[in-house]
């Protein structure tokens, strides 16, 4: 039995130029088997009428701290280091594994409602986030997070290796475990080197914050006489595949270095703007051939996990900052949220496009709303007009996990109850 999505406006994301067709998508098992103008259905096939929908690949949120949903709206209008030192880290010290599970479930519900079918996370008590993700039906690259000096990291290596051995490639690759040293200002040189060696030995990617703030950049220049990217290069970090979050303050030389070394950049525009860290030169990254993905960062610095909002803000702010209305055009922005995210997470052969052989990760966006009329340009409509609440249906690995805005894999009453209980104690920290 096949599932056939009929009559959709399909944005396949398969080429360098924007295209859309009206047609059908056939799914068998967890794979797309056909995309075309009209696909014949057998008598027992499941038919989904998508005649008033845009069909496109599921979105990729390539940088999150998922369980920080519990810290949403508790510390705003602050610079990065005041926010971290005085508000976030004291609250995080109170979080238990049960809290991480509760916050992860809440974050997953938000991701699904917003059309995300794959995400990358960097947080702690990773087993709980994995457990919640497996229940949700979507896919994830979960970071084995490293913070601290070399001695602390050496003590944690057995735990990190065990995490990888238990969960990496779980459920046919739905879960991947990457190595995730937090940043140069929270990890010593020895700790960063151990992270590199661990990623190399396990064959994983490495997920790190890079050049997020001017303070990080200036402190590194003062301490080491080099930029954060140069510092990581000299430590050999880029000897393994790296996806780097933020990259707001990369110099032109840094951009050339990252392009040469195959570093993937994850752009987090809302968080960068809200913490007053600046505007990353995304068009410069693209012009240099660097793969660019989109991320929301955590819901405590954003304050949501809405990739549609990230697309809109990323594009319009890049135009304003460069003075060029062609900068980060609609299709390049949509590529960052799909194809770029897939490349960043090493999943480009699985997701990010609608074509035969790819995983059946896709979303249906209802166009039955005033802001979609007239539908002159579907790509522009998704980037500049669509809202996360327009996502009607989510299919992940061939399984329908949201239908008519109802999440089918999670008990939302339980999700809200767990999150409310866990968040209560965090309100006591001031």
Instruction: Output Rg (C-alpha) for the chain, integer angstroms.
Output: 21
pLDDT for residue 429: 52
Among residues of the chain, what percentage have pLDDT more than 90?
91
Instruction: Break the chain into its structural domains and give their ranges.
Output: 3-57+351-406, 59-344
Sign of CA dihedral 115, 121, 125, 130: positive
pLDDT for residue 426: 72
For residues 109 and 119, the answer to whether their CB atoms sit within 8 Å is no
CATH of 3-57+351-406, one of 2.40.110.10, 2.30.40.10, 3.40.640.10, 1.10.10.60: 2.30.40.10
Average confidence (pLDDT) over 309-329: 98
**Using one digit for the tens of pLDDT, what is the confidence trace for 65-110?**
999 999 998 878 888 889 888 888 888 888 899 999 999 999 999 9
Other CB atoms within a 10 A radius of the CB of residue 189 amount to: 15
**Using one digit for the tens of pLDDT, what is the confidence trace for 163-186?**
999 999 999 999 999 999 999 999
What is the CATH number that goes with domain 59-344? 3.20.20.140
> Using 50, 70 and 90 to split pLDDT, how confident is the model at 133?
very high
pLDDT for residue 423: 86
For residues 132 and 145, the answer to whether their CB atoms sit within 8 Å is no
For residues 393 and 363, the answer to whether their CB atoms sit within 8 Å is yes
> Using 50, 70 and 90 to split pLDDT, how confident is the model at 428?
low
Distance CA 334, CA 375 (A): 17
**Using one digit for the tens of pLDDT, what is the confidence trace for 209-229?**
999 999 999 999 999 999 999
Mean pLDDT of all residues belonging to the chain: 96
For residues 388, 391, 397, 400, the Cα torsion angle rounded to the nearest 10 degrees is 130
Between these two residues, 429 and 226, which has the higher pLDDT value? 226
Beta strands in 11-113 (DSSP E): 21-28, 31-36, 46-49, 53-57, 59-64
Q: Is the pLDDT of residue 425 over 80?
A: no
Distance CA 307, CA 113 (A): 11
pLDDT for residue 76: 81
For the record, the structure tokens of 198 come out as 């661990």
Average confidence (pLDDT) over 123-150: 97
Quick check: do 3-57+351-406 and 59-344 share a fold?
no
């Amino acid at each position: 039995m096949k599932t056939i999505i009929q009559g959709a406006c399909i944005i396949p994301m398969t080429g360098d130029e924007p295209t859309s067709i009206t047609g059908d998508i056939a799914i068998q098992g967890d794979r797309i088997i056909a995309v075309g103008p009209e696909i014949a259905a057998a008598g027992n096939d499941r038919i989904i009428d998508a005649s008033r929908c845009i069909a496109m690949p599921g979105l990729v949120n390539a940088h999150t701290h998922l369980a920080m949903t519990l810290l949403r709206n508790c510390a705003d209008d602050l610079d990065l280091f005041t926010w971290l030192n005085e508000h976030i880290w004291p609250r995080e010290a109170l979080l238990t594994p049960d809290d991480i599970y509760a916050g992860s479930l809440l974050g997953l519900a938000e991701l699904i409602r917003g059309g995300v079918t794959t995400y990358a996370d960097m947080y702690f008590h990773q087993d709980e986030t994995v457990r919640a993700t497996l229940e949700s039906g979507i896919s994830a690259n979960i970071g084995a997070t490293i913070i601290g000096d070399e001695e602390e990291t050496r003590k944690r290596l057995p735990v990190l290796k065990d995490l990888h051995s238990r969960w990496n490639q779980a459920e046919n690759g739905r879960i991947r475990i990457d190595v995730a040293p937090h940043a140069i200002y929270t990890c010593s040189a020895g700790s960063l080197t151990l992270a590199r060696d661990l990623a190399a030995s396990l064959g994983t990617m490495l997920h790190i914050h890079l050049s997020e703030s001017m303070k990080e950049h200036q402190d590194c220049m003062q301490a080491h006489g080099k930029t954060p990217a140069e510092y990581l290069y000299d430590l050999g970090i880029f000897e393994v595949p790296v996806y780097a979050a933020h990259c707001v303050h990369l110099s032109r030389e840094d951009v050339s270095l990252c392009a040469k070394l195959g570093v993937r950049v994850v752009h987090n525009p809302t968080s960068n703007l809200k913490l007053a860290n600046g505007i990353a030169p995304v068009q410069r990254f693209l012009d240099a051939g660097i793969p660019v993905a989109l991320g929301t960062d955590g819901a405590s610095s954003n304050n949501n996990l809405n990739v549609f909002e990230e697309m809109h803000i990323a594009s319009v702010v890049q135009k304003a900052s460069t003075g060029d209305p062609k900068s980060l055009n609609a299709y390049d922005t949509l590529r960052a949220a799909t194809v770029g995210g897939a490349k960043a997470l090493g999943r480009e052969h699985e997701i990010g496009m609608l074509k035969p052989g790819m995983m059946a990760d896709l979303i249906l966006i209802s166009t039955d709303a005033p802001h979609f009329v007239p539908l002159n340009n579907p790509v522009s409509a998704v980037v500049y007009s669509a809202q996360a609440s327009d996502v009607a249906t989510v299919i992940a690995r061939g399984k329908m996990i949201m239908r008519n805005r109802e999440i089918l894999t999670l008990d939302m009453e339980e999700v809200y109850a767990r999150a409310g209980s866990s968040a209560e104690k965090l309100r006591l920290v001031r």
